[in-house]
Chain A
Amino acid sequence: MSTATHERAGVGRRVRLSFWDSARVASVGLRTRPLRATLSALGIAIGTAAIVGVLGLSSSSQAGLLAEIDRLGTNLLKAEAGRTFGGQTANLPIEAPARVSHIPNAEQVGHAGLIKDAKVYRSPMVPQANTGALQIRAVSLNLPSVLTIGVDRGSWLNAGTSEGPVAVLGSVAAQRLGIDRVHPGLRIWAGGQWFHIAGILKPATLAPEIDASVLIGYEAAGKYLGHVGVSRGEATHGPPTTLYVRAATDHVEEVQAALARTANPQAANEVNVSQPSDALTARAAAEGAFNSLFLGLGAVALVVGAVGVANIMIISVLERRSEIGLRRALGATKGQIRMQFLGEALLLAALGGVAGVGAGALATAVYAAGKGWAVVVPAEAWAGGIAAALLIGAVSGLLPALRAARMSPTAALRSV
């Protein structure tokens, strides 16, 4: 009914509560029974926290991987000899690295040769079966720079140490051998021979096989482990099994196309060429996909929270009959009573939603900081979380609010 009609009826202007008055009235339940209100909002808080946390964590881990990919670059190519009929890893020609380095735009070429059937132990006393699945690889000295691997402890091989019984451990190899510090006199028993440990590498994200390896120089491999070969009729160090090639950023595809046939012109189709960053990119895409199980649990928690709020609101309306009667006597319209209780449900839900978003974001921040990722809480996550909470509040508050408004003021006043 219009204002004019009210005035004609002689009852004055239609009244609308200001925002602050509405908020104050809607917070009566919260102020009179804070513990109950908090508990009733808890379900909604847990639901939103779960949703925001899941979305935040998957986004942050994706961001972390993308940053990692960025750091490592996507211009690394890997050429591997395929497997022989016996299932053994085949060798590449000894000349392969030199040939590949002549491919235009192949900027850096590193390589590693797997020493077959050589086992690694902490000492000769360790039972034969406990190899820890570690391998020994002869490696070119430029390998850390080609693969962007840092040195964690000690130092990398050099021209001198690569000729002696000296090894550097990949990060996983060090862990499996139980070695976390490097000191003079530290040795391991590899391929039936003592090797001094010069250093430990940081994780090699682009080449997990290096991580799980004991790395020695080609000279040492030939001298101590019999990894030798023949090149142009002369005895020389052993053959490589894998080439790592850094291509100029804009020419990766051309280098990739030329790699197999350059590495092994006799059997180009046996050479597997790959781009290690592809695996990471695929993983990043997978991380970005939401964990639907946890999202589902979050949704269930939200529904439970909605039931909790509705339950509390219905009890609250019954308990506060006299307040409702009094407000009607003071001139509150049915609509204003309805808004009061709807507002209260919305307020509870909003508090739960905000707390949940806060908790979810905090969990994301803590976890992401631990992993060294950038903290990413997507706008859809927190805005969606709060919107979901408000929607839940509106739905769960509607029935109690309608009941409160329908209540006869005198019944409400007589009920004490």
Chain B
Amino acid sequence: MKRSAYSPERKLALASSQDKVLELEEVTKVYGEQPPVPALRGVSFTVRRGELTAIVGPSGSGKSTLLHVMGTLERPSGGTVRIDGVDVAGLTDTELSLLRAHRIGFVFQQFFLAEYATVVENVADGLLYTGADLSERRARAEEALRRVGLAHRAGFRPPKLSGGERQRVAIARALIGRPAIVLADEPTGNLDSVTGASIVELLHELHADGATIIVVTHDAELAAALPRQIRMLDGQVVYDSAATRRQDAVGQHEEGGVG
């Protein structure tokens, strides 16, 4: 993609470069060799700080693959992934780990909580690989638990919690490091609709607090409740609610700039 250095789009990009938490340009991902399975086929979009975005699509459309690529758990086969302004392609495996420790929070459908540890220990482990010491991890875990409304469950062990509470613990663990971006893969997938709705409500609260969150889901209803939707099909973005809006904005800007 070649652009003139003075194009308005480029100027905008330069002006707000720290504002872009996640940038994908023509990202592809092909699994296997014989036969190659193209899971992502040229995905491009940008997520700005503070956005709450839904990535929605049918099963097999490449949502989880996309989340893993955005989360640097998987390297793309082609294209560029920039997180918080850092081009992921140039980083070693160790550097990617550091990037995840400091800038990315994950929430999974299966929660992945350690049953032998208490809730607060589980949350504190979100900072384990950042170099924070134990007392800081504890203090921030308690704060994160307050944010998700589970301060009173700090000493419990996960098996004693409801599904919704477990997912809140997992969200607190993702939030504890104040990451640039939180990636959630089907966060309500294992929950009933009422509990799922309360999790969505929590995501809205965190969004209002300034967190940047991307939720991957096949649930169109959930997606519709979020401010921005990106629709996937067969490894491609087929709709981006923000892109339509932004194109309008850029169009107006261009007219104003030239005129």
Contacts and interface: CB of A to CB of B under 8 A. Distances in A.
B45 interface: no
A28 B128 CA distance: 14
Nearest to A29: B116
Interface string A196-213: 000000000000000000
A6 B104 CA distance: 17
Interface residues of A, number: 38
Interface residues of B, number: 39
Interface stretch (B54-62, B86-94, B198-206): B86-94
A28 B116 contact: yes
B94 A334 contact: yes
Interface in B149-186: 173
Contacts, number: 111
Contacts of B85: 10
A21 B128 contact: yes
Contacts of B95: 1, 6, 9, 11
B102 interface: yes
Interface of B: 64, 68, 71, 73-74, 84-86, 90-104, 106, 108, 110, 112, 114-116, 125-126, 128-131, 133-134, 173
Nearest to A336: B129
A326 B134 CA distance: 20
Given A17-B128, A323-B112, A410-B73, A333 B94 contact: yes
A284 to B, nearest CB: 53
A15 B116 contact: no
Contacts of A128: none
Contact of B101 (A9, A18, A330, A334): A330
A331 B129 contact: yes
A31 B121 CA distance: 14
Contacts of B173: 330
A159 interface: no
A10 B68 CA distance: 20
A16 B132 CA distance: 10
A374 interface: no
A1 to B, nearest CB: 6
B44 to A, nearest CB: 22
B94 A330 contact: no
A329 B71 CA distance: 8
Q: Which of A10, A329, A333 has the most CB of B within 10 A?
A: A329
A20 interface: yes
B91 A9 contact: yes
A64 B15 CA distance: 87
B90 A9 contact: yes
6 contacts: A322-B110, A327-B129, A329-B104, A330-B100, A330-B173, A332-B129
Nearest to B103: A11
A409 interface: yes
